[in-house]
């Protein structure tokens, strides 16, 4: 037998209880003898500044008892509802607000809008729709609605992130109010659709607007930038008759969040040049863009703007600056910003710990973690532990990794996520404990994601575990069938084992899925701040011939010092001469050659690469740092490598 569960008590909206008797006035207190307009003004001021619910109830009694013009009552009662909603915490129940509404007859549309606003501010997000239904059922066409009533419904849909509610607010604004062409309502509907993720519906409302204002234009720019459709955002932004700070900021953050850092900095530069107000959101977007580019000079420029605009000590901006400098290869500068911050929170510490970890300074990362929990009394979160475990992984600190992985749950009550397991798998894999890494994956308490299996596949590649690699790849292909990196990693693992027939099968599978390998690209920031881009075997750069000739000279010089190319870094079945030629075309070598041409020996060359640096390029740069007396900083997709005096900060773990 199926039991029907009754609706919540809100069904009582259809039959509100009778209003409670007004509080008894103190004996002997005469009613005010002021003229009606002055009395109304006095009561309005008293309601607006009332400190408590009992005081408001007392004023409510006065409003009912004293003689006031009928035209004053709706406004006074709406102000009473507004003050009731503003009490912290809100004490007035909805039935009391309904009684306030019922005190005015005939029902007043201004007071109805105030009642809906009260329901929105003090009750569950979708309750205004129930109140609206009650008002329609109780009063029908006798009660006309103001546009503000429908904007409140749209705001309720926004707060609840309910697309169904947004569509309902849209429908009643047309069918009941006829306000679908009221700009205030239209802007509220756009915001509701944007909050619910329906950019198409928001754009339809926008396109049908007769008169658009800056809020309308900005809302659509924000909608597209949040959804990642930067082409459409750019189109609307370009047509904005007036661009406010919110629109500019949306473009900066949109480009930054969608891996378009150059565009983000161009827009931020335009913002700054026009004298637009720079806030912490736009600054954070620009900081993120600099971090992605690894642009040192741009980073210093953004920090200067942060300090000039008064955000230098802002904890959010400061945490971003720490992360930015760490990702630009300036870990000491990141540390300087960190220690100079007056206020630090868990995100600040987590950014610094992660930065130290990515630069191979594991001992400092762990020491900072201990300072964080023991001296600063800052509680770590799951992100903090990802930084700590990454530090252990990059330094081969297996024992420490096991310890902190256990501490995370036992001491801090943080349940390990798939990301934490991925760190542990990476730690075991780098240390050669591939079988133990596989056992850990099989014993996970959460479902392993692509990052976990990817870390295990990477370990198989490093240690030549081709059979385990095939098992791991099957899981990855199911989880991420369109991720070309998984196919490439399996192919490279099989190629290193000389299993060329199986390599061919993987490449056929890639062609079947129409997957193409991501091209290797390296970025180098010149002395003028211009970022140069180099692809493998690049012939596009205007100084290509000069770069390649200089690279040949460097190879010849290093061979005299004992350099022997690591041909196994090429995973194609070609002869040794062809492998050596392909190694010469690696993007990081081209960027390095250009860096030496433009900066000279005795300098620091910073390179960012989108893929893992190969064994041969790693050896090449390590030797070159000693022969040419140059410091080389490379950020690959795993970590930073600081080459100096023939050594690398990674210590062989990467």
pLDDT recorded at residue 587: 95
pLDDT recorded at residue 33: 53
Return the number of other C-beta atoms located less than 10 Å from residue 377's C-beta. Answer: 7
pLDDT recorded at residue 7: 39
- CA-to-CA distance for 620 and 471, rounded, in angstroms? 34
Does residue 40 sit in helix, strand or coil? helix
Label each residue of 302-328 as H, E or C.
HHHHHHHCCCCCCHHHHHHHHHHHHHC
Measure the N-to-C terminal CA separation of the chain; round to a whole number of Å. Answer: 63
pLDDT recorded at residue 366: 97
Greater model confidence, 346 or 298: 346
pLDDT recorded at residue 88: 66
Joined tokens for residue 461: 């590649």
pTM score of the predicted model: 0.77
Q: What domains appear along the chain, each with residue ranges and CATH number? A: 416-512 (1.25.40), 521-648 (no CATH)
Tens-place pLDDT, residues 237-284: 999 998 999 999 999 999 999 999 999 999 999 999 999 989 999 999
Residues contacting residue 299 through CB under 8 Å, at least 6 positions apart = 287, 290, 291, 324, 325, 328, 330
pLDDT recorded at residue 14: 47
Greater model confidence, 203 or 89: 203
How big is the CA angle at 450 (ends 449 and 452), to the nearest 5 degrees? 70
Tens-place pLDDT, residues 32-68: 555 667 777 888 888 888 888 888 888 888 887 777 7
Mean local confidence (pLDDT), 490-512: 81
* DSSP state for residue 174 in the 8-state scheme: I
* DSSP state for residue 499 in the 8-state scheme: -
> What is the separation of C-alpha 562 from the centre of its chain, rounded to a whole number of angstroms?
47
Buried b (16+ CB within 10 A) or exposed e, 166-183: bbbbbebbeeebebbebb
Mean local confidence (pLDDT), 122-134: 88
Label each residue of 268-304 as H, E or C.
HHHHHHCCCCCCHHHHHHHHHHHHHHCCHHHHHHHHH
- CA-to-CA distance for 296 and 332, rounded, in angstroms? 13
Please give the share of the chain, as a percent, with pLDDT higher than 90.
53
CA-based nearest residue to 311, from 347, 346, 286: 286
Tens-place pLDDT, residues 399-451: 999 999 999 999 999 999 999 999 999 999 988 999 999 999 999 989 999 99
163 burial class (0-12, 13-18, 19+ CB within 10 angstroms)? middle
- CA-to-CA distance for 539 and 545, rounded, in angstroms? 8
Mean local confidence (pLDDT), 619-637: 93
CA-based nearest residue to 520, from 581, 607, 620, 610: 610
Does the CA dihedral 571-573-577-582 come out positive or negative?
A: negative
Whether pLDDT at 6 is above 50: no
Give the gyration radius of the chain's Cα atoms. Answer: 33
Return the number of other C-beta atoms located less than 10 Å from residue 146's C-beta. Answer: 19
Pairing of strands 604-609, 631-635: parallel
- CA-to-CA distance for 72 and 245, rounded, in angstroms? 40
pLDDT recorded at residue 476: 84
pLDDT recorded at residue 4: 33
CA-based nearest residue to 288, from 309, 267, 274: 267
Tens-place pLDDT, residues 358-403: 999 999 999 999 999 999 999 999 999 999 999 999 899 999 999 9
Mean local confidence (pLDDT), 202-218: 92
Structural element, H or E, at residue 559: helix 544-560
Average pLDDT score, the chain? 87
């Amino acid at each position: 037998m199926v039991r029907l569960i009754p609706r919540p008590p809100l069904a009582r909206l259809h039959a509100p209880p009778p209003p409670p008797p007004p509080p008894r006035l103190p004996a002997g207190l005469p009613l005010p003898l002021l003229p009606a307009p002055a009395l109304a003004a006095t009561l309005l001021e008293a309601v607006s500044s009332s400190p408590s619910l009992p005081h408001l109830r007392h004023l409510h009694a006065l409003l009912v008892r004293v003689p006031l013009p009928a035209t004053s009552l709706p406004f006074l009662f709406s102000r009473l509802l507004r003050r009731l909603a503003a009490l912290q915490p809100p004490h007035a129940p909805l039935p009391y607000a309904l009684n306030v509404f019922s005190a005015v007859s005939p029902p007043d549309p201004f007071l109805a809008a105030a009642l809906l606003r009260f329901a929105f501010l003090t009750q569950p997000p979708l309750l205004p729709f129930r109140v609206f239904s009650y008002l329609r059922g109780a009063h029908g066409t006798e009660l006309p609605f103001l546009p503000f009533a429908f904007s409140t419904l749209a705001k309720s849909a926004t707060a609840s992130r309910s697309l169904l509610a947004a569509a309902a607010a849209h429908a009643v604004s047309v069918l009941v109010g006829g306000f679908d062409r009221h700009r205030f309502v239209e802007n509220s509907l756009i915001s509701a659709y944007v909050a619910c993720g329906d950019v198409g519906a928001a754009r339809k409302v926008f396109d049908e607007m007769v008169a658009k204002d800056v809020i309308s234009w900005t809302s659509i720019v924000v909608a597209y930038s949040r959804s990642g459709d930067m082409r459409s955002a750019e189109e609307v932004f370009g047509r904005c008759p007036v661009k406010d700070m919110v629109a500019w900021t949306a473009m900066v953050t949109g480009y930054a969040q969608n891996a378009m850092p150059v565009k983000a900095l161009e827009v931020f530069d335009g913002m700054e040049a026009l004298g637009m107000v720079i806030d912490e959101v736009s600054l954070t977007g620009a900081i993120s863009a600099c971090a992605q580019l690894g642009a040192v000079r741009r980073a210093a420029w953004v920090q200067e703007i942060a300090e000039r605009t008064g955000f230098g000590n802002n904890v959010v901006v400061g945490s971003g600056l720490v992360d930015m400098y760490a990702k630009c290869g300036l870990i000491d500068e990141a540390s300087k910003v960190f220690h100079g911050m007056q206020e630090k929170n868990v995100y600040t510490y987590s950014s610094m710990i992660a930065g130290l970890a990515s630069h191979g300074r594991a001992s400092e990362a762990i020491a900072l973690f201990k300072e964080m929990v023991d001296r600063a009394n800052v509680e770590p979160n799951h992100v903090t532990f990802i930084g700590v475990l990454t530090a252990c992984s990059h330094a081969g600190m297996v024992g420490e990794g096991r310890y902190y992985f256990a501490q995370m749950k036992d001491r801090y009550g943080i349940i390990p996520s798939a990301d934490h397991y991925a760190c542990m798998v990476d730690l075991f894999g780098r240390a050669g404990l591939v079988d133990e890494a596989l056992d850990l994956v099989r014993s996970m308490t959460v479902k392993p994601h692509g990052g976990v299996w990817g870390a295990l596949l990477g370990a198989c590649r490093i240690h030549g575990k081709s059979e385990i690699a095939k098992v791991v790849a099957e899981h990855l292909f199911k989880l991420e069938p369109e991720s070309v990196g998984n196919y490439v990693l399996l192919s490279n693992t099989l190629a290193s084992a000389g299993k060329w027939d199986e390599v061919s099968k993987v490449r056929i599978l890639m062609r079947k899925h129409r997957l193409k390998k991501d091209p290797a690209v390296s970025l180098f920031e010149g002395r003028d701040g211009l970022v140069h881009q180099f692809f493998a075997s690049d012939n596009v750069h205007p100084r290509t011939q000069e770069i390649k000739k200089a690279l040949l000279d460097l190879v010849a010089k290093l061979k005299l010092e004992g350099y022997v190319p690591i041909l196994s870094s090429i995973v194609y079945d070609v002869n040794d001469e062809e492998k050596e030629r392909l190694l010469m075309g690696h993007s990081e070598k081209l960027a390095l050659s250009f860096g030496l041409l433009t900066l000279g020996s005795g300098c620091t060359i910073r390179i960012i690469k989108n893929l893992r640096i190969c064994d041969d390029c790693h050896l090449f740069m390590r030797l070159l740092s000693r022969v040419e007396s140059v410091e080389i900083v490379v950020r690959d997709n795993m970590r930073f490598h600081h080459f100096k005096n023939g050594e690398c900060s990674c210590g062989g773990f990467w």
